[in-house]
Every structure is written in structure tokens, then in C-alpha cells.
A and B are shown apart, each in its own frame.
Chain A
């Protein structure tokens, strides 16, 4: 039977298991929207196409399945670029579908024409311009295959309007055959032997656990490896939750705002085992002085990650879970008691400076809010979606994630405005889970229009604004490195409660530490989205901190003045 390109598009998406898309209609994608009504697809109408891509991203991160965003040509498509780049940096499988002007009009600077395949070339894993209905099914099939296989990533499909309108015979193609695409690799036996030698001879090894653990479902394999070889684990920001926070070998987060004992341990290690992480500069600090005495073993699915930032001694290219399962039978038990107890000693020194150990001095600190939120939401499966900035780092430090995919955050690109739409996507994907947005007052205003999407679609999430009246992380840098010259960081904010209420949603304001828990409880009891505007200390900073480009062990520690006076120094 003949179908139009638009019908073939939906038919193909349904066959790929898509039940929900996030999008915004417009002229060049109208035939597809018209055809959509005849297919079992839930469409979430966003308020800005960037939101659609972050929602598809949140959907994908919460489930591991491919998220789908749809938009029209020109401005609709260009609005998607930030969301696509975000997904690219964090290896998130999404498929973005954009309308394009008629194929005869391409290149004529037609109304709402942009070369979106050209624009997104550097920020997609692959992209397609489709001009004939005969190609639609094959391209959709390939796009999903490419997006989810190997190192996942975003794929864009640009479909001309005439392609959506004209018809051909629908044929569902066989599994894609792409002769230049190599999603799977197996490490060589020589490299496996070298790795085993290094592992067994190491006295002070440490595992660096990244997002690859979540992507390859390698949690059990990593834990077995760590327990068998008795190796402590430090995680990246995107590795949080990949292994339980409460696991005795889990040290917590490394890097710029990682705890001092974790970074010190890395600097003093004699072997780094990098599992599905990519030595981001936020993790390594100055690469010249990074873990100077350590041999390095890197396991990654993407050959291009090896030796990119840090030169490694052994590279094992392959799926992390499969590679570790191959190694496990040959990992001998090792006694590393001295090393593990040395790290515990370092930890004791840091813990005494922790803000959580201070008596209540009447001020509301973000750390208190996050810590209380964690304590209150531990009783059920909770996904926390954060934005980017100080609150993101406090969340990473004080919310203890036990489960994979329970923290959704923009790591690589650091996209402000990510949290609110990504949380909508996560909730649509996982309606059973409780979803909390933790967001700063700056980032919230970048995509707060999506409150309307929440209201229209009846999405039930909770939003915690960590409101300090500043672009807090930038202000912190200005305080530390620019002599407190607060150029363009103070914010004049709207009344977030009134704003939220104008969408018919519930809102609360919290100004003291004692009110945090009752507000969180109230929000959890309430059916529907609740926003809590937490008014926290304005000039609080995230500690510890490794200034950009500094050596990893040269951290600005939590000020001891806090310990003595109970007030922020």
C-alpha cells in the first residue's frame, strides 16, 4: 500500500518503539503533524524547541531508550542546536526530526530555510537530509540504530516538505548495514594481558567511574571488579549513581568540586583504572601534573577517547561490561588495606570541615536544602534533574545517589536551562518515579516557559529553586579570581511563586532551615507540580574547589572559619 513520506515517518517511528515525542509544529513539518493524528503517538507540545530536545534527552537518560524531538525548519531547527550539542557531549541517544523547505526551494534562502544538516554537523553523531519518501523508512531505521549503538549520541533527520507529502510503497527495511560504522570493538589479548599485569602489581590503584557504566549497564561488573581486587572507586559527575553512594569502596565524586580526599587519592595513586570516562578537564585539572606516578588503563567503547586528554599506558577498546566480564575471572584477590585505610584517614580530615556538621546558625545554606531533600526522598525511587552551576555541584556533593539513572544533569556541555525540560522528559519516560528538579534562579529563567508545558500536559514533578539572587557559580569565580567585581551576575528575579501560580501550579517559599523539610513533605503530598523557592545564602561558595587549570591536589578547601564561628567567612 502506498503511504506518504509523513505516514512512513510515523509508521517507522512506531516500529522503532516510539510512543511519545516532544515537539513544536510549523509550516515545513505540517504534513508530518497532520499524519501524526492517525498514529498511537503521544505528543508533548513544548514552548520552545530547545525544551523539546532537552525533554527527549531527559527521556533517554531516564530509560536508556532513544528520545525523539520534532520541530519545523529554520528557527525551529536552530532552536534545537543547544539540546543536540548537550546530548552529543554526554552521549545521549536522541533522534531529532526537522521539517525542511521543499526540495526545489533548497538553496534559495526560502522562507524559514536553514542548512540544519550543515549547522549540526559538528554536534550530531550523524545526520540526514531526506528528499524522497522512498528513503524515509531506511533513514529512520539507520538513525535509531546509530543513535543507540556503540557510543550513543544524537542523530538528526531533516525531511523536506515535498518528501512528507509525496507517496511511495512502504517497505520496512532489513536491519541497517553501514559498512563504515563500527559500533562494537573487542580489546586485543595483548592489551588484556598488559592490563592484568598492571592491575596485579599495583599497590595504590583507584577506579575512575564514568557515565559509560550507566550506558553499558556495567554496575554489577564494576562492583565485582572493585570488590575482587579491593580497589576504591571515585566517580565523575555523570558517574554518580552508577554505583551505590553507600558502597564502602565508593569514595564519591572527583574533580573540580570533588572532595579533597578523593582528589588527593587520585594524585597519589599508582594505577588509574578509567572505566567509561574521558578525562574531562573538570576531572583532571592540570593534565601535566595529573596523577603523576600512576600507570593508566582506559576502557572505552570509543577509540577516539584514548589518549585524547591523558596519555594512557593500556587502552582496552570495547563495551565496558563485556570487557570487565572478560577480565573478572582472571582478577586475583589483592590486599590493599594500607591504601584504603590511608584514604579513610584523608577523609576524616575533610569531614570535619563539612557544612553538614555545623550547628544551625539561622542561615539557610543550599547544602542544607539538598541534604534534607535527600533524606526526605530516600524512601522511594527518585530522579533528581539538575541544571548547571553551584546548585548542581551541591547536589552532586550532598544528594547520595544509590541507583543508576537517578541523577540527570548536563555534564559535558554544562547547559543552563537544561533541568526543567529534561525533568519533564524523565517524568514522561518514568511516570512511576518521583522527579525533582534542582535548579538555580539563573538557569530556571532560561527555560521557565516550559512551566506552561507542565500545566498543559498535567506533568507531576517538583521543582526546587536554589535562589541566591546571583549567577552563583560565575559570582563565585568573580569572588575568587576577579576581586569581587560582580560584573553582570546579580539577578533581579520575578516572584517565582506568583509566576508559577499564574500557570495554575502550586508554589511555596522557604527562607529558614527549619521550613525545608515541611515544604518538601507538602510538595510530595500534593498531586501535581509544586515549585519551592528556596532563598539561600547569597554569597555562599562551593567548596572544595580546584581552580580551572590548577593541579588537582591544590584545592581551595572548605574554610576552617566556618568550623570556628558557624558563619560563612
Chain B
């Protein structure tokens, strides 16, 4: 699975352009999340796509063909933090409530709503952790579930979240500085 962090102009229809481009090049999008960034007018997408190394390079190069795409980083093989948020509604009875509370605390999940017959639990973490909690709670009966999909950020001081800085350099790319991998 490849994870791309993509910075785009915050224009209507950009999500369609990006997702449509990846789909029509024959790749399936596993997860896509979009939100604002610290820079006004720039949105950040985290896109998870199943592809081999060549496929990942093709996706990256093709994304750069979109005029509204400012920057693409494939963070898959770089030290990165992956997170998603999941909200679960689980059936409870007076007998099971305490057990579920206990499981939630093992996963450092939070109980955000309580009713006589159900609990709503919020968890953040990488997909494995989220999936693990889901598997554990499944026997109690999951009534409803909402997941955000993957978010990614590089560890340390490196960023994938700055649009190109030099205003003068718009429209030209030198291979040395270029983020696209050219040769095999």
C-alpha cells in the first residue's frame, strides 16, 4: 500500500480531478481524506493506493499533470505517522458494559456517549490498532461505525505540507530539485 500526501489548490472539483485521474489510470483508491492546511487556499489529501513501485511513480507523475496539484509526497517508505479516527456504536447490556469500558481503556479509546443499550467509542491510531479494537468489540455487536481513512505525516522536521515556496520558480522544474523520480 502506498500513501501519498498531496497538496492541492482549494478549488471546487479538485477532489474529483484527483480521484478520477488515479481511477482512470487503473488504480484502486483504498482511502482518501481531505482537509484544510495551515496555508490558506491549500488543501491536503492523504491517499492510500495499492500499487507497486512503478505504479506509485506513475501515480505521482500523473498527479503532477493536474494544474491544481502543488506537491506530491510518497511517504510510504519514509519515517511517518499514520493515523485514522474511528467512532463505534456498540450494543451493551448491564453485564457487558464494564467489560467494554475495560477494553476501551486498554486501547486508550474514549467513551463519548452512553445510553442504556449502547456505548459510543472513539479511537485514533493506525489502521491495525483500530481494526484490532473493532475485532475485539465485534462479538458484543457493532451497531454502527464511521472511519475517516488514513492521515499521514512525516516524522521529525521534514514536511510534506508546504507548497512550492519560490514564487519566481513557478512553472519550471529542475530534475535535481524535482520531487519526481525519473529513472529506474
Whether B175 sits at the interface, judged by CB under 8 Å, is yes
Residues of B within 8 A of A316 (CB): 182
> Roughly how many angstroms separate A545 CA and B86 CA in the complex, as a whole number?
58
Interface string of B71-82 (1 = CB under 8 A from A): 000000000000
Residues of B within 8 A of A194 (CB): 183
Residues of A within 8 A of B8 (CB): 180
> Roughly how many angstroms separate A531 CA and B65 CA in the complex, as a whole number?
43
> Roughly how many angstroms separate A311 CA and B182 CA in the complex, as a whole number?
11
Contact A178 B67 (CB under 8 A): yes
Contact A185 B173 (CB under 8 A): yes
Residues of B within 8 A of A311 (CB): 54, 184
Whether A183 sits at the interface, judged by CB under 8 Å, is yes
Contact A177 B170 (CB under 8 A): yes
Nearest CB of A to B16, in Å: 7
Contact B54 A315 (CB under 8 A): no
Nearest CB of B to A135, in Å: 12
Whether A104 sits at the interface, judged by CB under 8 Å, is no
Q: Look across to chain A and name the residue whose beta carbon is closest to the beta carbon of B17.
A: A121
Interface string of B48-65 (1 = CB under 8 A from A): 000000100110011011
Contact A308 B58 (CB under 8 A): yes
> Roughly how many angstroms separate A182 CA and B170 CA in the complex, as a whole number?
7
Interface string of A167-193 (1 = CB under 8 A from B): 000000000011111111111110100
Residues of B within 8 A of A121 (CB): 16-17, 20
Contact B67 A303 (CB under 8 A): no
Interface string of A80-118 (1 = CB under 8 A from B): 000000000000000000000000000000000000011
Residues of A within 8 A of B160 (CB): none
Nearest CB of A to B9, in Å: 6
Interface string of A291-321 (1 = CB under 8 A from B): 0000000000011101110011111110000
Contact A307 B58 (CB under 8 A): yes
B146-184 with Cβ < 8 A to chain A = 163-164, 167, 170-176, 178, 180, 182-184
Q: Look across to chain A and name the residue whose beta carbon is closest to the beta carbon of B62.
A: A304
Nearest CB of A to B41, in Å: 10
Interface string of B18-40 (1 = CB under 8 A from A): 00110010000000000000000
How many residue-residue contacts, CB under 8 A, span A and B? 98
| In-complex Cβ contact of A181 among B20, B24, B67 (8 A) | B67
Whether B109 sits at the interface, judged by CB under 8 Å, is no
Known: A121-B16, A185-B178, A312-B184. Contact between A146 and B58, CB under 8 A?
Answer: no
Whether B127 sits at the interface, judged by CB under 8 Å, is no
> Roughly how many angstroms separate A185 CA and B183 CA in the complex, as a whole number?
14
Nearest CB of B to A253, in Å: 28
Contact A122 B20 (CB under 8 A): yes
Whether A47 sits at the interface, judged by CB under 8 Å, is no
Residues of B within 8 A of A178 (CB): 67, 170-171
A313-331 with Cβ < 8 A to chain B = 313-317
> Roughly how many angstroms separate A308 CA and B68 CA in the complex, as a whole number?
22
Whether A132 sits at the interface, judged by CB under 8 Å, is no
Of the candidates A182, A188, A307, A312, the one having the most CB atoms from chain B within 10 angstroms of its own CB is A182
Q: Look across to chain B and name the residue whose beta carbon is closest to the beta carbon of A179.
A: B170
Contact B58 A304 (CB under 8 A): yes
> Roughly how many angstroms separate A193 CA and B178 CA in the complex, as a whole number?
18
> Roughly how many angstroms separate A72 CA and B87 CA in the complex, as a whole number?
48
Contact A317 B175 (CB under 8 A): yes
Nearest CB of B to A403, in Å: 31
Nearest CB of A to B172, in Å: 5
Whether A506 sits at the interface, judged by CB under 8 Å, is no
> Roughly how many angstroms separate A306 CA and B175 CA in the complex, as a whole number?
14
Of the candidates A302, A307, A311, the one having the most CB atoms from chain B within 10 angstroms of its own CB is A307
Number of interface residues of B (CB under 8 A): 35
> Roughly how many angstroms separate A181 CA and B9 CA in the complex, as a whole number?
11
Residues of A within 8 A of B164 (CB): 179
A413-429 with Cβ < 8 A to chain B = none
Of the candidates A180, A183, A308, the one having the most CB atoms from chain B within 10 angstroms of its own CB is A180
> Roughly how many angstroms separate A357 CA and B64 CA in the complex, as a whole number?
51
Residues of A within 8 A of B172 (CB): 182-186
Contact A188 B61 (CB under 8 A): no
Interface string of B130-157 (1 = CB under 8 A from A): 0000000000000000000000000000
Whether B112 sits at the interface, judged by CB under 8 Å, is no
> Roughly how many angstroms separate A304 CA and B68 CA in the complex, as a whole number?
16
> Roughly how many angstroms separate A125 CA and B66 CA in the complex, as a whole number?
8
Whether B5 sits at the interface, judged by CB under 8 Å, is no
Known: A191-B175, A314-B183. Contact between A180 and B58, CB under 8 A?
Answer: no
B1-22 with Cβ < 8 A to chain A = 8-9, 13, 16-17, 20-21
Whether B45 sits at the interface, judged by CB under 8 Å, is no
Known: A121-B20, A306-B182, A307-B184. Contact between A180 and B173, CB under 8 A?
Answer: no
Whether A126 sits at the interface, judged by CB under 8 Å, is yes
Contact A122 B58 (CB under 8 A): no
A142-186 with Cβ < 8 A to chain B = 146, 149, 177-186
> Roughly how many angstroms separate A401 CA and B68 CA in the complex, as a whole number?
40
Residues of B within 8 A of A126 (CB): 67
Contact A315 B183 (CB under 8 A): yes
Whether B47 sits at the interface, judged by CB under 8 Å, is no
> Roughly how many angstroms separate A302 CA and B58 CA in the complex, as a whole number?
11
Contact A188 B175 (CB under 8 A): yes
| In-complex Cβ contact of A191 among B61, B65, B182 (8 A) | B182
Residues of B within 8 A of A179 (CB): 9, 70, 163-164, 167, 170
Whether B121 sits at the interface, judged by CB under 8 Å, is no
Known: A181-B67, A304-B61, A304-B65. Contact between A187 and B171, CB under 8 A?
Answer: no
Residues of A within 8 A of B24 (CB): 122
Nearest CB of B to A473, in Å: 27
Residues of B within 8 A of A149 (CB): 171
Nearest CB of B to A199, in Å: 15
> Roughly how many angstroms separate A187 CA and B163 CA in the complex, as a whole number?
22
Contact A180 B66 (CB under 8 A): yes
Contact A188 B176 (CB under 8 A): yes
Q: List 11 extra interface pairs beyond A180-B9, A311-B184, A315-B183, CB under 8 A.
A: A121-B16, A180-B8, A180-B70, A184-B173, A186-B173, A191-B175, A304-B61, A304-B62, A306-B182, A312-B183, A314-B183
Cβ contacts A to B, 6 pairs, < 8 Å: A117-B13, A179-B170, A191-B183, A304-B64, A307-B184, A317-B175
B interface residues with partner A (beta carbon < 8 Å): 8-9, 13, 16-17, 20-21, 24, 54, 57-58, 61-62, 64-70, 163-164, 167, 170-176, 178, 180, 182-184
Sorted from nearest, which 6 A-B pairs have the closest CB atoms? A188-B175, A304-B61, A182-B173, A180-B70, A303-B61, A315-B182
